[in-house]
Chain A
Amino acid sequence: DAEITQSPRHKITETGRQVTLACHQTWNHNNMFWYRQDLGHGLRLIHYSYGVQDTNKGEVSDGYSVSRSNTEDLPLTLESAASSQTSVYFCASSESRDPIYGYTFGSGTRLTVV
């Protein structure tokens, strides 16, 4: 069965370190998204991609970067981790730009920056 997987599920890192969160989908979806979820803010868009070599900034992109070298993967990199980036990170993918098809989400990565 097709799926979208995130790794690791939990990560503790130190302030200033570079961290990469993995997202891999086997749906063959062109569209992929990274969100962070925080109490009081809900889900906020970090970066998104509509295909290989395409990346775009979302609402809260400062301090984050992504690259899309193939259809299946969209890794999220925190260049220099900060305590404000402690959050739960969700990757999602979608088949179509038509919003009625919705997103398929991974199970999330809980990141703690100490």
Chain B
Amino acid sequence: QKEVEQDPGPLSVPEGAIVSLNCTYSNSAFQYFMWYRQYSRKGPELLMYTYSSGNKEDGRFTAQVDKSSKYISLFIRDSQPSDSATYLCALSEVQGAQKLVFGQGTRLTINP
């Protein structure tokens, strides 16, 4: 069983739709939860992070963590064609090395 599971998609939605991207994980030691965005033929870039359970909002993006269910989500409101990219969740334990464990990534296309 992989430590982090993420549906690879692809996911295609119309412009303006609300998008929900999700990851599940098995390691209860994960305390830091991040979302990276990766445009085609580019390296990933950090989009948002959350620590422990709860919600965090940044503009049109909301990250949600439910540690009891080992489930994290990224919501995109009023989606734009420029949001078309692959979204990867990344998780890290509190102690020791800053080693990130990545999900497979979900390929998202926003259609104008």
Are A102 and B97 in contact, with the CB atoms below 8 A? no
| A38 CA to B42 CA, complexed, in Å | 14
Considering only residues 56-84 of chain B, those with a C-beta below 8 Å from chain A are none
Contacts of A107 in B (CB 8 A): 41-43
A34 at the interface (CB under 8 A from B): no
Of all chain A residues, the one with the shortest Cβ separation from B97 is A97
Contacts of A39 in B (CB 8 A): 8
Are A43 and B102 in contact, with the CB atoms below 8 A? yes
Are A108 and B43 in contact, with the CB atoms below 8 A? yes
Total A-B pairs in contact (CB under 8 Å)?
Answer: 62
Interface size on B, residues (CB 8 A): 25
| A72 CA to B7 CA, complexed, in Å | 35
Of all chain B residues, the one with the shortest Cβ separation from A106 is B43
Contacts of A31 in B (CB 8 A): 98
Are A99 and B44 in contact, with the CB atoms below 8 A? no
Residue of B32, B36, B46 contacting most chain A CB atoms (<10 Å): B46
Interface size on A, residues (CB 8 A): 28
Contacts of A45 in B (CB 8 A): 99-101
Q: Indicate which residue in A33, A43, A94, A100 contacts B49 across the interface (CB closer than 8 Å).
A: A100
Contacts of B99 in A (CB 8 A): 33, 45, 48, 58
Are A103 and B46 in contact, with the CB atoms below 8 A? yes
Considering only residues 90-107 of chain A, those with a C-beta below 8 Å from chain B are 90, 92, 94, 96-100, 102-103, 105-107
Are A98 and B104 in contact, with the CB atoms below 8 A? no
| A42 CA to B38 CA, complexed, in Å | 12
Task: Write the residues of chain A forming the contact surface with B, with a CB cutoff of 8 angstroms.
Answer: 31, 33, 35, 39-45, 48, 50, 56, 58, 90, 92, 94, 96-100, 102-103, 105-108
Task: Write the residues of chain B forming the contact surface with A, with a CB cutoff of 8 angstroms.
Answer: 6, 8, 32, 34, 36, 41-46, 49, 51, 88, 92, 96-105
Q: Which 3 pairs across A and B sit closest by C-beta, in order of nearness?
A: A105-B43, A102-B46, A99-B92
